[in-house]
Amino acid sequence: MAENDNHNRMTFGGGCFWGMEKHFREEFGSAIRSVQVGYAGGTLANPTYENVCQGDTGHAEAITAIYDPEKVSYRKLLDFFWSIHDPTTKNAQGMDRGTQYRSVVFYHTPEQKTEAENYKKELQASKFNKPIVTEIVEATTFYPAEEYHQNYLKKNPHGYCNHFRRWTQN
């Protein structure tokens, strides 16, 4: 993925990256030009899955994708992101526990930051009784996960996934 794609790049962390990847691919199809699972937001260069699972690198399991803004808006991607995981649980999704499973939007542009912050406020007022703990932070280096993690649930259809759609966009 080229660096000049930042205006059409999204990077989200919301629990196990296997489920995030699967659901984004299924929901948006060709509107998502490319997607990778990996590690974002940490301090260790070139982390491995084992490094990240120790919980001390600061990375979140995340997905990054280039999307086609003619087919899907960033707001719709945000809506879907917030609808397939629980953004009110800190550092946990389902049975997965640790900072690597935190809810986080990594923004690539000032416009994405503003849109994510505004939409988070709207969701807090309209859909959640508990505080949304999703972090909204500037994207830094994204490290692709090992090959066996890419398209994991397609390769392993009975693999663990705790993501499901909680609502649909109005």
pLDDT at 157: 81
Catalytic residue among 10, 16, 65, 161: 16
Only one residue has tokens 């526990």, namely: 97
pLDDT band at 6 (very low <50, low <70, confident <90, very high): low
pLDDT at 73: 96
Domains of the chain listed by start with CATH number: 3-155 (3.30.1060.10)
In angstroms, the Cα distances linking 48 to 15, 51, 93 are 17, 5, 21
Position 20 pLDDT exceeds 80: yes
Handedness of CA 79, 83, 89, 94 (dihedral sign): negative
pLDDT at 140: 94
Percent of the chain with pLDDT over 90: 78
Is residue 53 part of the annotated active site? The answer reads: no
pLDDT band at 169 (very low <50, low <70, confident <90, very high): low
Q: Which two tokens stand for residue 110?
A: 């000032």
